[in-house]
């Protein structure tokens, strides 16, 4: 299924996981999500508008780099920005809880060792 024919988030989720098929890509996303959350906390604590802008850069830069250099595909953010953001944090949360594996299996993403 291509991203152009996706009508629901339930359809988007397995597509998103397949677009993040390599564990190193997912690791870059986890790092970016962590950095974005920490930057958001700092921006709120310091009430800094510049840090609020940095939240997006902190989150998206590692993710987009991983798609360019590792996954060699186009980030899903470009076609489905809101679903992509939701899916990224869903993937991050499932990984943190140790529950991502079955989701990857169901989406048909081969797992080649590693915990990501």
Q: What is the pLDDT of residues 22-65, one digit of tens each?
A: 999 999 999 999 999 999 999 999 999 999 999 999 999 999 99
Q: Residue 8 — very low, low, confident or very high, per pLDDT cuts 50/70/90?
A: very high
The answer on pLDDT for 1 being more than 60 is no
Q: Residue 71 — very low, low, confident or very high, per pLDDT cuts 50/70/90?
A: very high
Q: Residue 114 — very low, low, confident or very high, per pLDDT cuts 50/70/90?
A: low
Question: Could you state, in order of their start, the residue ranges of all structural domains in the chain?
Answer: 23-107
Q: Residue 115 — very low, low, confident or very high, per pLDDT cuts 50/70/90?
A: low
pTM above 0.85, yes or no: yes
The answer on pLDDT for 66 being more than 70 is yes
User: What is the DSSP code string of 40-109?
Assistant: HHHHHHHT-HHHHHHHHHHHHHHHHHHIIIII-S--GGGT-HHHHHHHHHHHHHHHHTT-HHHHHHHHT-
Answer whether 14's CB lies under 8 Å from 106's CB.
yes
């Amino acid at each position: 299924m291509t991203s152009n024919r996706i009508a629901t988030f339930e359809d988007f989720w397995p597509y998103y996981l397949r677009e993040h098929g390599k564990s190193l890509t997912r690791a870059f996303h986890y790092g970016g999500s962590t950095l974005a959350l920490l930057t958001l906390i700092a921006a709120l604590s310091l009430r800094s508008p510049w840090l609020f802008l940095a939240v997006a850069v902190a989150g998206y830069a590692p993710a987009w780099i991983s798609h360019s250099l590792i996954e060699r595909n186009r980030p899903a953010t470009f076609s489905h920005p809101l679903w992509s953001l939701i899916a990224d944090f869903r993937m991050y949360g499932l990984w943190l809880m140790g529950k991502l594996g079955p989701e990857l299996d169901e989406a048909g993403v081969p797992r080649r060792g590693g915990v990501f």
